[in-house]
Amino acid sequence: MPSNENIISGFDDSHDKNLRLVLDQVPAVSHCLSVYVMGSIDNYNSNFFQEKMQKVIEAGFINIVLRCSSLEYVSSTGIGVFATFFSKFKELGGNLVFTDLQPKVEELFQLLGFSHFFHIAGSMDEAIEFFTHKETVEAAVFPRSIECPICNVHLKAKHSGKFRCPSCKAIISVDEKGIVTI
């Protein structure tokens, strides 16, 4: 596996004794990075994790696979960080996929309702398939002219994600197939 520094300069400048991240590029998907997560993400190191994910975005990676086979624990604060970055990646036209979740972490996702919010793949191959299928579908669908379901204002969506109508301020979701919901 390549060194983190070879992928993102300065990534290993700081460390946390309870969380280790190992980066690996995914050449099959544009702007994609695999992040092996080892240890725990809790109230004490969630800021550390946020800083590392911000470096990932600044380096131009917007499609992320969080490989969680060694993620032993995640607190609700850690889940909140996941949700924040999920939204950021979606805004940038990318996505966040989890693989190899430990049973207790997956149970937490389910209890909090995040198993419906995040894409959870069974393997790296499944994650790559998700990204490549999404890119193919979105390339055929976007950019797209949409209509706000509340005020009927015409808008242009360049990619899937959540948008705020400039007229009525409603939050509109546009999925990968171009289907609009509130």
Encode pLDDT of 129-151 as tens digits.
Answer: 988 876 555 556 778 888 888 99
Q: Residues 85, 124: contact at Cβ < 8 Å?
A: no
pLDDT at 135: 53
Residues forming beta bridges with residue 66, ordered by sequence position: 35, 98
Q: Residues 70, 37: contact at Cβ < 8 Å?
A: yes
Of 23-27, 49-53, 171-175, minimum mean pLDDT range:
171-175
Average pLDDT over residues 69-87: 91
- Omega before 103 cis (within 30°)? no
Average pLDDT taken over every residue of the chain: 88
pLDDT at 1: 47
How far apart, in Å, are the Cα atoms of 77 and each of 74, 103, 106, 156? Answer: 8, 19, 15, 34
Say which residues have a Cβ less than 8 Å from residue 47's Cβ, sequence separation at least 6: none
Answer yes or no: is pLDDT of 14 > 80. yes
pLDDT at 41: 95
pLDDT higher at 56 or 119: 56
Tokens of residue 19, six digits: 């969380």
Sign of the CA dihedral running 83, 89, 94, 97: negative
Answer yes or no: is pLDDT of 50 > 50. yes
State the amino acid at position 129 in one-letter form: E
User: pTM for this one?
Assistant: 0.72
pLDDT at 133: 79
Contacts 24+ apart (CB under 8 A), 83-89: 83/114, 83/117, 84/50, 85/50, 85/53, 85/57, 86/117, 86/118, 87/162, 88/57, 89/57, 89/62, 89/63, 89/64
Percent of the chain at pLDDT > 90 equals 49
The H or E element spanning position 5 is helix 4-7
pLDDT higher at 1 or 102: 102
